[in-house]
Amino acid sequence: SQQGEEDPQALSIQEGENATMNCSYKTSINNLQWYRQNSGRGLVHLILIRSNEREKHSGRLRVTLDTSKKSSSLLITASRAADTASYFCATDSGGSNYKLTFGKGTLLTVNP
Amino acid sequence: DTAVSQTPKYLVTQMGNDKSIKCEQNLGHDTMYWYKQDSKKFLKIMFSYNNKELIINETVPNRFSPKSPDKAHLNLHINSLELGDSAVYFCASSPQDSRHGYTFGSGTRLTVV
C-alpha cells in the first residue's frame, strides 16, 4: 500500500532558485527518507530523518519533519541543472522487518 | 566497483516466456530487496530477504519466485510472463537496522511483448 504522497507532482524552476517538495504520509513512522532518481537510473539515498528529529541538513539539502501533521519537506537551495531528477520520500514504519514504502515522487526540472 | 549490480539491464521477451534477473551486492549488507516500478514511477516492494531468509513477501503472483543462494545474491525468476509484468525491477540492499538507507541497483527494464 502507498504511504507517502509527494506534492507537487512536477516542479520546474530556474537554476539558482530554491526547490521545495512536500511529502505526506498516513501511519506512524520510525524514520523518513528522501531519494533521488535520475532518468533511467536507480534511486540514490539522500537523507534520513528519524521520527524524533525535526530538521536535518546535508549540503544544499534541508529536510523537515512534522510528525503531528504526518508531513515532511525537502528543500534544495541554489538549484543546479544537475539537480533535475525525480525525488521520492520513503517511510519506515518500524516493526520487526525493515521495509520502505515509497511515494509517487516529484519530478524536478531545473532550467539552465 | 558497483555496489549493487543487476543483470540484465534490458530484457525484451514474449508473453508466456520464463526469465530471470540477477542481483549481487558487495556491501556486506544483510538484507536485500526487489521493488517494481511501474510506468507511473510508483515503486512497490515485492520481496525482502535477510541473510538468505525470506522475510517480506508482498501480494505478488506466485509466478514470481525469488532465490537467495547467499546473502550477497538475490535473483528473481518470473514464469509465464504477462504484458502487465512490463516494468522496471530494482534490486536494493541495506544493513539490517533501519538507521541507514537502501542502496539500489540501476534497474532492469522488462518489456513483455
* pLDDT one-digit tens code per residue, A33-87: 999 999 999 999 999 999 999 999 999 999 999 999 999 999 999 999 999 999 9
Distance between CA atoms of A27 and A5, rounded to whole angstroms? Answer: 12
- Interface A-B: count of C-beta contacts within 8 A: 58
A101 close to B (CB below 8 A): yes
Of A40, A45, A105, nearest to B101 by CB-CB distance is A45
**pLDDT of A6:** 80
**Which residues does chain A have within 8 Å of residue B98's beta carbon, measured at their own beta carbons?**
30-31, 92, 94, 98
**Which residues does chain B have within 8 Å of residue A40's beta carbon, measured at their own beta carbons?**
107
A35: Cβ contacts below 8 Å, ≥ 6 apart: A43, A44, A45, A46, A87, A88, A89, A90, A102, B101, B102, B104
**Digit-coded pLDDT (tens) for B71-101:** 999 999 999 999 999 999 999 999 988 788 9
| Cell, residue A87 | 525525488
Distance between CA atoms of B9 and A51, rounded to whole angstroms? Answer: 36
Per the CB < 8 Å rule, is A2 touching B102? no
Q: What percent of chain A has pLDDT over 70?
A: 96
**Digit-coded pLDDT (tens) for B23-36:** 999 999 999 999 99
Whether the predicted pLDDT of A95 surpasses 80: no
**pLDDT of A3:** 61
**pLDDT of A4:** 67
**pLDDT of A18:** 98
**pLDDT of A90:** 96
Q: Taking residues A14-39, what's their average pLDDT? A: 96
Of B41, B98, B107, nearest to A98 by CB-CB distance is B98
Whether the predicted pLDDT of A1 surpasses 50: no
Higher pLDDT, A98 or A16: A16
In chain A, whose CA is at the least distance from the CA of B30? A98
Higher pLDDT, A93 or A89: A89
Which residue type sits at B13?
T
Distance of CA B1 to the CA centre of its chain: 20
What is the Cα gyration radius of chain A? Answer: 13
**pLDDT of A5:** 77
**Digit-coded pLDDT (tens) for B45-76:** 999 999 889 988 888 999 999 999 999 999 99
Per the CB < 8 Å rule, is A33 touching B101? yes
Best of A36, A49, A99 to mutate (most B CBs within 10 Å, chain B): A99
A14 close to B (CB below 8 A): no
